[in-house]
């Protein structure tokens, strides 16, 4: 690596000398031990400088500096990168095991790093060929350019999370309508695996989600997201055992959900990438069979395969934990037009299918029409306090027949605290947003005059997002402050997520616990509560 850099520097130095040297003097340079030693010192000085001050990362010639990925070089000019760079930019799957070993997968490559090789970052210079990438340095400009050599084909033909220790045991919902909770928590459990395995309580999610919901009725992903986003859960299964008809509402969450994305269209590559990088994907199918009845014209029990071609709407939730592009179409009772199936984890016990798993055709009528991916789950010490007025979460939407809108929530600091983050729901894909604060809120007029911007960004998918602020705001006990969001959601006429009356299931709706406002241009504001709604906009603080 150093030799390559040395050659590049010699060439660059030669060009500069040729351009700057007086024309009447000789331009020939003679190699000597002294020259090579000087250039080597120059290289080492430049490497030390880049190691200390950072290097600009280019992908296919375009800088990604604005995304703040941690990429650096060591004293030998070898690259060290964080796991999110490998996932987001290079399309890899990064698995951290309980013994500290890290595995990086891409396409058919599997590269393992012992814990002793890692110092927070992953050394990838010696593995770039296997990952189908090349890099080139410009030491003068301080850049490194990553170039993909396989056309972006990062996915293997077959991938099974069971083989990577990334799934928890199959469970049995019995006769209850709790498949939605099993699917949500089954997907959530995979986020921290293989390094950390937790079994979460379905009873607690089903009975403490704020909705008036009988266990036999069934639910949906928005209820799961509301329960998790409000810090009601998850709690461990051992603390609230399934099926006993009892629960403890005083149990505290053992993890905090920070992000969940919603893919609102069927896109096999996106779903596979989500499984590969993040974990199990929650989705729905129309299950023509009922619990305990394993015969159907759409189900082949010999091959544990399912392919629904009817007109029924989705009625059963499950977790996608892998895929097999070569799963033969002849394995299905009615062959689809092409091979391939998702590997799905069900909640009917190990007696169903392949020890609780079954294969659903890519061409199934309903699978992946809507998919939920829990992408960021953190320990409960990520923030000390949560401020919110939307315990039921995203029930409806509000707006002004325009894809742009402003919305705000007013809160009062309960102690001396530091504002660290806010969260909201993006109601559609490619939502652009900005975050503002009014530190001294007095009345509605304060929303116009005293706000300052403290964050911005864009979301690729609909979903629940937490935004860490680029500036910490200190709050005094009793201080009234306002968080304001502006959003632009392409194609939407009602881009604001709200908690509102959604029928019998939302009988616990409380409109007295918040002070929210909405506006088209951020100038004229309207009370959300007077429109029978709470704005979905939370604030997170740390104690000072």
The DSSP code sequence of 219-255 is --HHHHHHHHHTT----BGGGS-TTSS---TTPPPSS
pLDDT of residue 31: 56
pLDDT of residue 291: 85
pLDDT of residue 336: 98
Is-above-0.75 flag for pTM?
yes
pLDDT of residue 119: 79
Enumerate the H helices of 28-148 as residue ranges. 33-53, 83-88
pLDDT of residue 66: 82
SS3 (DSSP) at 382: coil
Enumerate the H helices of 21-137 as residue ranges. 33-53, 83-88
pLDDT of residue 35: 57
Measured from the Cβ of residue 115, the count of other Cβ atoms closer than 10 Å reads 11
pLDDT of residue 7: 43
Residue-by-residue pLDDT tens, the chain, 544 positions: 544 444 444 444 343 333 333 333 344 445 556 656 655 565 566 556 655 666 888 999 999 888 888 888 887 878 999 999 999 999 999 999 999 999 999 999 999 999 988 878 999 999 999 999 999 988 778 889 999 999 999 999 999 999 999 999 999 999 999 999 999 999 999 999 999 999 999 999 999 999 988 887 888 899 999 999 999 999 999 999 999 989 999 999 999 999 999 999 999 999 999 999 999 999 999 999 888 888 899 999 999 999 999 999 999 999 999 999 999 999 999 999 999 999 999 999 999 999 999 999 999 999 999 999 999 999 999 999 999 999 999 999 999 999 999 999 999 999 999 999 999 999 999 999 999 999 999 999 999 988 999 999 999 999 999 999 988 899 999 999 999 999 999 999 999 999 999 998 999 999 998 999 999 999 999 999 999 999 999 999 999 9
The radius of gyration of the chain's CA atoms, rounded to the nearest angstrom, is: 27
pLDDT of residue 43: 58
pLDDT of residue 379: 98
Residues 425 and 463: beta-carbon distance below 8 Å: yes
Here the tokens at position 257 are 């959900």
Apex 145 CA angle, 143 and 148, nearest 5: 170
Residues 411 and 475: beta-carbon distance below 8 Å: no
Residue 284 CB partners (closer than 8 Å, separation 6+): 314, 315, 316, 317, 318, 366, 367, 369, 370
Counting other chains too, the contacts that 83-86 makes at CB distance below 8 Å and 24 or more residues apart are: 83/122, 85/57, 86/122, 86/124
- Return the percent helix, strand and coil in the chain, to nearest 5: 20, 35, 45
SS3 (DSSP) at 184: helix
C-alpha distances in angstroms, 145 versus 3, 59, 61, 123, 184?
A: 18, 6, 6, 16, 39
Kindly give the pairing relationship between strand 537-543 and strand 417-426.
Answer: antiparallel
pLDDT of residue 373: 98
Residues 75 and 258: beta-carbon distance below 8 Å: no
Kindly give the pairing relationship between strand 305-306 and strand 357-361.
Answer: parallel
Give, for 376, the enclosing helix (H) or strand (E): strand 371-378
pLDDT of residue 46: 57
Q: Is the dihedral of CA 435, 439, 442, 448 positive or negative?
A: negative
Residues 428 and 490: beta-carbon distance below 8 Å: yes
pLDDT of residue 72: 85
Buried b / exposed e over 122-135, threshold 16 CB at 10 Å, is: bbbeebbeebbbee
Residue length of the chain:
544
The whole-angstrom separation of Cα 544 and Cα 541 is 9
Give, for 482, the enclosing helix (H) or strand (E): strand 480-488
Residues 448 and 406: beta-carbon distance below 8 Å: no
The whole-angstrom separation of Cα 542 and Cα 432 is 27
Residue 86's nearest CA partner among 52, 141, 130 is 130
Residues 235 and 198: beta-carbon distance below 8 Å: no
pLDDT of residue 76: 81
Buried b / exposed e over 81-108, threshold 16 CB at 10 Å, is: bbbebbbebbbbbbbbeeeebbbbbbbe
Q: Is the dihedral of CA 237, 238, 241, 247 positive or negative?
A: negative
């Amino acid at each position: 690596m150093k030799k390559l850099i040395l050659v590049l520097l010699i060439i660059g130095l030669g060009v500069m000398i040729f351009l700057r040297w007086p024309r009447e003097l000789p331009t020939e340079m003679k190699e000597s031990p002294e020259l090579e030693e000087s250039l080597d010192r120059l290289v080492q000085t430049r490497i030390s400088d880049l190691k200390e001050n950072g290097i600009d990362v280019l992908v296919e010639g375009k800088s990604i500096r604005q995304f703040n990925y941690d990429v650096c070089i060591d004293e030998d000019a070898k690259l060290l990168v964080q796991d999110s760079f490998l996932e987001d930019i290079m399309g890899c799957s990064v698995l951290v095991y309980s013994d500290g070993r890290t595995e990086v997968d891409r396409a058919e490559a599997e590269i393992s790093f012992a814990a002793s090789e890692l110092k927070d970052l992953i050394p990838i210079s010696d593995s770039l060929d296997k990952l189908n990438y090349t890099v080139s340095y410009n030491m003068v400009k301080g850049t490194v350019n990553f170039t993909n050599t396989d056309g972006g084909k990062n996915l293997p033909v077959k991938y099974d999370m069971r083989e990577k220790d990334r799934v928890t045991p199959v469970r049995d919902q019995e006769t209850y309508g709790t498949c939605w909770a099993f699917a949500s928590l089954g997907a959530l459990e995979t986020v921290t695996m293989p390094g950390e395995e937790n079994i979460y309580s379905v009873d607690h999610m089903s009975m403490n989600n704020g909705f008036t919901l009988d266990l036999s009725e069934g639910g949906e992903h928005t209820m799961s997201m509301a329960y998790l986003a409000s810090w009601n859960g998850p709690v461990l299964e051992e603390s609230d055992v399934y099926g006993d008809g009892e629960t403890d509402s005083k149990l505290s969450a053992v993890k905090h959900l920070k992000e969940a994305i919603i893919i609102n269209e069927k896109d096999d590559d996106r779903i596979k990438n989500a499984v590969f990088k993040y974990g199990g994907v929650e989705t729905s199918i129309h299950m023509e069979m009922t619990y305990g009845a394993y015969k159907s014209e759409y189900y082949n029990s010999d091959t544990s395969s399912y392919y629904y071609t009817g007109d029924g709407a989705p009625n059963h939730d499950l977790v996608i934990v892998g895929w097999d592009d070569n799963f033969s179409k002849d394995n299905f009772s009615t062959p689809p037009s092409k091979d391939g199936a998702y590997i799905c984890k069900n909640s009917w016990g190990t007696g169903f299918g392949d020890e609780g798993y079954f294969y659903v055709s890519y061409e199934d009528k309903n699978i992946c029409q809507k998919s939920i991916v829990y992408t960021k789950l953190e320990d409960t010490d990520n923030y000390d306090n949560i401020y919110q007025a939307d315990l039921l979460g995203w029930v409806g939407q509000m707006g002004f027949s325009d894809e742009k809108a402003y919305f705000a929530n007013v809160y009062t600091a309960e102690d001396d605290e530091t504002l660290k983050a806010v969260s909201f729901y993006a109601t559609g894909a490619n939502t652009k947003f900005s975050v503002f604060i009014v530190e001294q809120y007095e009345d509605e007029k304060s929303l116009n005059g005293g706000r300052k911007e403290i964050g911005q960004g864009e979301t690729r998918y609909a979903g629940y997002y937490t935004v860490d602020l680029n500036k910490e705001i200190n709050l005094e006990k009793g201080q009234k402050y306002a968080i304001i969001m502006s959003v632009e959601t392409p194609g939407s006429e009602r881009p604001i997520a709200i908690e509102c009356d959604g029928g019998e299931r939302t009988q616990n709706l409380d409109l007295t616990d918040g002070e929210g406002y909405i506006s088209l241009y951020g100038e004229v504001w309207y009370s959300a509560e007077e429109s029978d709604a709470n704005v979905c906009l939370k604030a997170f603080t740390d104690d000072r």
